[in-house]
Amino acid sequence: MKLLNLNDGVEPGVICVEPTLANDGMDARNLAKAHKGPIVSHLEHLPRGIHETSEERKTHWFVGSVDQGTTSSRFLIFNGEGDPVASHQIEFENLYPKSGWHEHDPMTLLSSVEECIEGAMRKFQRLGFSKNDIRSIGITNQRETTLVWDHETGEPLYNAVVWPDTRTKSIVRDLKAKDGADAIKDLCGLPLSTYPSSVKLLWLIENVEAVKEAYEQGRLAFGTVDTWLIYKLNGGAQAESPVHVTDSTNASRTMFMNIRTLQYDDKLLGFFGIDRNKVHLPKIVPSSDPECFGRIASGALSGVPIAGCLGDQSSALVGQCGFNPGQAKNTYGTGCFLLYNVGTEPVISQYGLLSTVAYDFGQGRAPVYALEGSIAVAGSGVTFLQNNLNFIDNAKQINDLAESVPDNGGVVFVTAFSGLFAPYWIDDAKGTLFGITQHTQKGHIARATLEATCFQTKAILDAMEKDSGCKLKLLAVDGGLSNSDLTMQTQADISGIPVDRPAMCETTALGAAIAAGLATGVWSDTAELQEVNRTGRKVFEPKISRKCAEKRFKKWNQAVQMSRGWLQDNDNEDDECDEEKKA
């Protein structure tokens, strides 16, 4: 970094820098930090970003955020106060080619993100701003979903295998029986199940000819959704230096990363039989960094740096400003995920929870870990009632339908479409309705669907209390399904703790914007974020007696136990008369 010798005539303590350097506000800010004083260039018009006050930064600096979820993609632009000023969202098709299979088209994921960027930028420009007002963008994404592409061409080799997909059941069963299986969770924080990326990659290598061939020839590139988007948004294989990275929150969902070193672990790769020389694994980097993630190659944001990357559940914790140990958030999206900040040392759960990287802001700051309770079906239960059973025309109507009856009428719905995740980890159950009688109405089933997520959250809270020794005092919530007041009231009633919902529920997108903004000077420290998204929050207080809550929870647990064992080892999930049909 070259300083110009132009300090004549400038106040003492102020240094001048090359115009090019000064025009890069970020480098200049780093320099200002190191210098502990103001910096100006000798240009007549002082460059944006160097001499603005923090008040001006709040209103004049913007950060973009891509939120690529299971049901939709969105792009939001936030100002320095953490308020969204423009956004665009697109739902895309989820593919279910067989029972238990769940896929996304990788190119659709990419084009939906690109369209969202263009759509939000048009709105941003109509407000009188341009891309020059955007310091950087962050990316947040559905986790575990596994993509494979040709390292040489950048072309996908198969559809993305989405996180709730259960085609890997027999692979998991074999792995559980293998020597060394018991030690895996302590190394990577996750139990063996159909959920992480490792088993999805194994299935792809074993079952898809093009993937197997690319692997044998050393051409196979692997990534989660963050990696795929960052790679493609940088220009893919055609980029001057292709960018193949992931952040440690996303990597902590693969089962290939050591939860303590935050690097790939040969013991883990060896256990899954993955040969590091045959597959290109993304480089693991911190979640907030001005350099590692490259820049957008084309379109309305061409040239803007990508400076933040977080798995969506980590991002929601950051967006809720859950920066202190003991804080937790629960995000009710397609699935539902409770993350509890445990500080800078990972806690390996003894009660069915996952250990995960909450966020890793780098620059000498220690990574922060979380205990996680993952529920596979939450909003997707509502979508199921809408699309498969035609109970409602849109998700919003679920609240009224459920309120059309005073209670669940004795119906319990174990929404085990992908088996049950935390804290149960039951892989031989499928969705099961209990308690149906002639009295049963659609409203009862709607209520039972919403309650299923609340009961599982209660089971996760109990496990978290046992693991951490602390009882949560307040549950911060967000995500699509958290818009249902009935669901949030039910959650407070069943768990016995207040539920705190922000007015602005796009906390997942906000988290990635924060990660990017921290790397590019919009915020210098998390302490500056205390006021973000605090106004207009709604708190749902528990209204029923603990005795009544316990009784309802007991009935739920009975249903869970009775749902076990539905799938037998030799069951063909597709159709029991498959052979006959073929004949």
Ligand X SMILES: O=P(O)(O)OC[C@H](O)CO
Residues lying near ligand ADP in the complex (CB under 6 A) are found at 69-72, 333-334, 379-380, 382-383, 395-396, 398-399, 479-481, 483-484
The CB-nearest residue to ligand ADP is 480
Q: Which of 334, 341, 399, 453 binds ligand X (CB under 6 A)?
A: 334
512-531 positions binding ligand X, by CB under 6 A: none
Residue 396 interacts with, from ligand ADP, ligand X, none (CB under 5-8 Å by kind): ligand ADP
- Spatial CB neighbours of 283, under 8 Å, sequence gap ≥ 6: 244, 245, 246, 292
Q: Cβ closer to ligand ADP: 189 or 480?
A: 480
Q: Cβ closer to ligand X: 490 or 507?
A: 507
Give the shortest CB-91-to-ligand X separation in angstroms: 12
Residue 484 interacts with, from ligand ADP, ligand X, none (CB under 5-8 Å by kind): ligand ADP
Which residues is 103 bridged to in the sheet? 95, 161
> Which parts of 24-110 are beta strand (E)?
39-41, 62-68, 72-79, 84-91, 103-104
Residue 163 interacts with, from ligand ADP, ligand X, none (CB under 5-8 Å by kind): ligand X
Q: Cβ closer to ligand ADP: 70 or 356?
A: 70
Give the full edge-to-edge strand order of the sheet including 306-311. 84-91, 72-79, 62-68, 134-141, 306-311
Give the shortest CB-375-to-ligand X separation in angstroms: 9
- CA Rg, the chain, in Å? 24
Q: Cβ closer to ligand X: 147 or 301?
A: 147
Give the shortest CB-176-to-ligand X separation in angstroms: 21
Residue 33 interacts with, from ligand ADP, ligand X, none (CB under 5-8 Å by kind): none
CA dist., res. 307 & res. 139, Å (int): 8
Strands 328-332 and 336-343: antiparallel
Q: Cβ closer to ligand X: 357 or 522?
A: 357
Give the shortest CB-324-to-ligand ADP separation in angstroms: 24
Residue 120 interacts with, from ligand ADP, ligand X, none (CB under 5-8 Å by kind): none
Give the shortest CB-311-to-ligand X separation in angstroms: 6
145-184 positions binding ligand X, by CB under 6 A: 163
Burial string for 519-552 (b: 16+ CB within 10 Å, else e) reads: bbbbbeebebbeebbeeeeeebebeeeeeebeeb
Whether the Cβ atoms of residue 269 and residue 178 lie closer than 8 Å to each other: no
335 binds ligand X (CB under 6 A): yes
Structure tokens, 187: 């190394």
Strands 499-501 and 538-540: antiparallel
DSSP state of 420: B
Give the shortest CB-487-to-ligand ADP separation in angstroms: 7
Q: Cβ closer to ligand X: 79 or 141?
A: 141
Q: Cβ closer to ligand ADP: 3 or 395?
A: 395
333 binds ligand X (CB under 6 A): yes
Residue 346 interacts with, from ligand X, ligand ADP, none (CB under 5-8 Å by kind): none
| Binding footprint of ligand X, residue count (CB under 6 A) | 12
142 binds ligand X (CB under 6 A): yes
Residue 166 interacts with, from ligand ADP, ligand X, none (CB under 5-8 Å by kind): none
Q: Among 127, 275, 288, which residue's Cα sits nearest to residue 212?
A: 275
Q: Cβ closer to ligand ADP: 192 or 385?
A: 385
54-113 positions binding ligand X, by CB under 6 A: 69-70
Q: Cβ closer to ligand X: 334 or 408?
A: 334
Q: Does the N-terminal peptide bond of residue 191 adopt cis geometry, omega within 30 degrees of 0?
A: no
Options 27-35, 138-146, 165-173, 438-446: segment touching ligand X (CB under 6 A): 138-146
User: Assign residue 259 a region: left if phi > 0, alpha if psi is -120 to 50, beta otherwise?
Assistant: alpha
CA dist., res. 393 & res. 404, Å (int): 16
Whether the Cβ atoms of residue 189 and residue 356 lie closer than 8 Å to each other: yes
Q: Cβ closer to ligand X: 224 or 495?
A: 224
Residue 387's CB is within 10 A of a number of other CB atoms, namely 12
DSSP structure string for 207-240: H-HHHHHHHHTT-EEEE-HHHHHHHHHTTGGGSS
143 binds ligand X (CB under 6 A): yes
Q: Which amino acid is at 175?
A: L
Options 90-98, 140-148, 279-287, 539-547: segment touching ligand X (CB under 6 A): 140-148
- Name residue, tokens 């940088």: 234
Residue 186's CB is within 10 A of a number of other CB atoms, namely 12
Q: Which of 114, 312, 427, 467 binds ligand X (CB under 6 A)?
A: 312
User: Assign residue 179 a region: left if phi > 0, alpha if psi is -120 to 50, beta otherwise?
Assistant: beta
**517: helix, strand or coil:** helix
Structure tokens, 207: 């079952």
Give the shortest CB-480-to-ligand ADP separation in angstroms: 2
- Name residue, tokens 């341009």: 130
Residue 143 interacts with, from ligand X, ligand ADP, none (CB under 5-8 Å by kind): ligand X
372 binds ligand X (CB under 6 A): no
Q: Cβ closer to ligand X: 121 or 259?
A: 259
Q: What are phi and psi of 580, to 5 degrees?
A: -60, -40
Structure tokens, 536: 């207009």
Whether the Cβ atoms of residue 159 and residue 104 lie closer than 8 Å to each other: yes
417 binds ligand X (CB under 6 A): no
Residues that bind ligand X (CB under 6 A): 69-70, 142-144, 163, 311-313, 333-335
